[in-house]
Amino acid sequence: MFNVFSRRTILGAVVSLAVATGAAHANPATDFVNSFGGRLAGVVNSKEPLEQKKKEVLPLLKENVDIAGIGRYCLGKYWRTATQAQRDKYLSLFDQVLVNTITDQIGSYQGVSFRVTSTTTTPEGERVNALIDRPGQPEVNMQLVIGGNPPKVMDMYGEGASLRMNQRSDYSSYLARHNGDVDALNAALERQLSAHK
């Protein structure tokens, strides 16, 4: 239905946090990445079964990723026209879709190495640049945008593409085909979640 999130982009970003071991130049954004990453690494690298890992990762994602902010951004101009009930339902569904996308693939990442190469201040937040290496696959350049107080992951870039921008484009296209009906988008997200189960 939706190309919800590029698995390589979203998983690379999460795994980059999970295996972060140090930063080129420490600052609050890289400190955040290393702290969050250390906690994720403890889960991802544990001997626990995959279902247990998913349960343990869930609160870390909710605490450290600005899921609601990403969701609002992805709805774009339709956020302003949606009713409060539509917004609430959409954010609840978006939260589940994003978390499913991340947690479904936790077991796929093994033997990953990661290094922070730089941090840049941008209007959207601190962009932490990193290189991710998986055995037998090309190295991936990933950027994590960190902002807010307390800090959270606000966006992720992989292969030059923004997770938020890609998803916003997909949702905008869908809504344009459905006369801007947020209920139609919510129904589509519900179908996606039902199929996931």
Q: pLDDT per residue over 87-127, tens digit each?
A: 999 999 999 888 887 777 666 665 666 677 888 998 889 99
| Category of 147 on φ-ψ map: left (φ > 0), alpha (ψ -120 to 50) or beta | beta
pLDDT digit string (tens) for 148-190? 889 999 998 877 788 899 999 999 999 999 999 999 999 999 9
Domains of the chain, residue spans = 7-196
d(C-alpha 70, C-alpha 67), whole Å:
5
Q: If we measure between CA atoms, which residue out of 181, 132, 124 comes closest to residue 154? A: 124
- Specify the pLDDT at position 129: 84
Instruction: Specify the pLDDT at position 20.
Output: 45
Q: Which of 36-50, 62-76, 100-114 has the highest mean pLDDT?
A: 62-76
The CATH code of domain 7-196 reads: 3.10.450.710
The helix or strand, by DSSP H or E, that contains position 121, with its residue range, turns out to be: strand 113-122
What is the pLDDT, as a whole number, of residue 24?
46
Task: Find the DSSP H helices in the chain.
Answer: 7-18, 28-44, 50-64, 67-75, 78-81, 84-103, 163-177, 182-196
Which pTM value belongs to this model? 0.79
SS3 131: strand
